Amino acid sequence: MQKREATLTRTTRETDIRIRLLLDGQGRAEISTGYGFADHMLTLLAFWAGFDLELSCKGDLEIDAHHSIEDVGLCLGQALADALGDKAGIERIGWAKVPMDEALAEAVVDLSGRAYLAYSDDLLPAVIAGEEKDLWREFFKSLAFRAGMNLHLRYEHGLNGHHLLEAAFKATGLALKRAVALTRQGVTSTKGSLD
């Protein structure tokens, strides 16, 4: 079986990102974004997805983490799309519901090539780990649109922002693990293509 992996770099005036993604990995992550909370969340996603992920980002954190985390979402989404190639044999759809103490989040993904994000963050506090909660909507939007993924992410219950996001990242990882699993023959679509 051919390795499903991707390596890419992205350099702008705001960020310099390097990423290597192996879909059929062991859940090992080496993450360095300069924002420790994001490193923690991305490590959780990789672990629960079973991806090996090496990611470094040098960004303009003197402003805030927005550019870095949005661009990390873009790069991770692109790496996922590149590693999937023609998507032959993948399950395509995956879902998971994950608790973290009082918090509960659900993620449903469809690697259809049709990008969409359904996301409501009403339960998240305005600030989490020193950054505005909007940062995470922008991350998930960038990830979904660059990957060509339909992503529905719902925070069902919770009081603690860290717990809510941790449940969401774990759920997204598990949903991706199921969606990229090679369980089918050909492309999983009645129309014969995924785009």
The CATH label, of 3.30.230.40, 1.20.1630.10, 3.40.50.1100, 3.40.50.720, for the domain at 5-180 is 3.30.230.40
At 109-150, the pLDDT tens digits run: 999 999 999 999 999 999 999 999 999 999 999 999 999 999
Give the number of residues written for the chain: 195
**Domain definitions of the chain by residue range:** 5-180
Alpha carbons 71 and 8: distance in angstroms, whole number: 12
Mean pLDDT of 39-50: 98
pLDDT in tens, 47-86: 999 999 999 999 999 999 999 999 999 999 999 999 999 9
Q: Across all residues in the chain, what is the average pLDDT?
A: 95
Lowest pLDDT segment from 22-31, 66-75, 159-168, 181-190: 181-190
Give every strand in the sheet of 52-59, ordered side by side: 5-11, 15-22, 52-59, 29-32
**Neighbouring residues of 149: CB distance < 8 A, sequence distance ≥ 6:** 77, 80, 109, 110, 111, 112, 115, 143
pLDDT of residue 116: 98
